[in-house]
Amino acid sequence: MARFWAKVLIPDLPLDACWEWQAGRNRGYGRFSLNDKSVLAHRVAYILAHGSIPDGLVVDHLCRNRRCVRPDHLDACTQGENVRRGRAGENQRSKTHCTRGHAYSGSNLVIRVRRNGSRTRDCRECMMERNRRAGAAYRARRRAERRAS
């Protein structure tokens, strides 16, 4: 499938950058012709990475970038699941900023894999802040322990 990846711009940095489709597009989505049929490029990328798209699932962009074909920015979910999740799920996915107002884009966007295997978007600023706080709490506990001993 070298022919497929030849049409994708894969930047070296940031490490989690989107891989954008450079060839034809349809309504913003990358288009790829396979056996004389026009197929959506991100669906092809998902199949190349995972073998197939599970029956009845749609391939969704976690990064909201329709041109992106990076396999770890793609997530298969059911239409029904989307509907059941309701508006809350949709809002979550279409949010462009974290709750503290940092943009979900460029190097600040982190795609995290949850323990149940589903993927979620995270904000690098907030992750670093959480790590800083966790580190400070740890150091404070160590100091308290030293004083107590």
Positions touching Zn ion (CB under 5 A) are 18, 63, 65, 68, 70, 73, 98, 100, 102, 123, 125-126
Q: Is the peptide bond before 14 cis (omega within 30 degrees of 0)?
A: yes
Q: Choose between 97 and 142: whose C-beta lies nearer to Zn ion.
A: 97
Minimum distance between the CB of residue 119 and Zn ion, rounded to whole angstroms? Answer: 11
Minimum distance between the CB of residue 31 and Zn ion, rounded to whole angstroms? Answer: 17
The Cα 43–Cα 71 span in angstroms is: 9
Q: Choose between 35 and 96: whose C-beta lies nearer to Zn ion.
A: 96
The Cα 27–Cα 42 span in angstroms is: 13
Minimum distance between the CB of residue 70 and Zn ion, rounded to whole angstroms? Answer: 5
CB within 8 A of 30, min separation 6: which ones? 7, 20, 21, 23, 24, 40, 41, 42, 66, 67, 69
**CA dihedral sign, ordered 83, 106, 51, 118:** negative
Q: Choose between 132 and 139: whose C-beta lies nearer to Zn ion.
A: 132
Strand partners of residue 8? 21
Q: Choose between 81 and 122: whose C-beta lies nearer to Zn ion.
A: 122
Q: Choose between 40 and 63: whose C-beta lies nearer to Zn ion.
A: 63
Minimum distance between the CB of residue 29 and Zn ion, rounded to whole angstroms? Answer: 13
The Cα 17–Cα 49 span in angstroms is: 17
Minimum distance between the CB of residue 68 and Zn ion, rounded to whole angstroms? Answer: 3
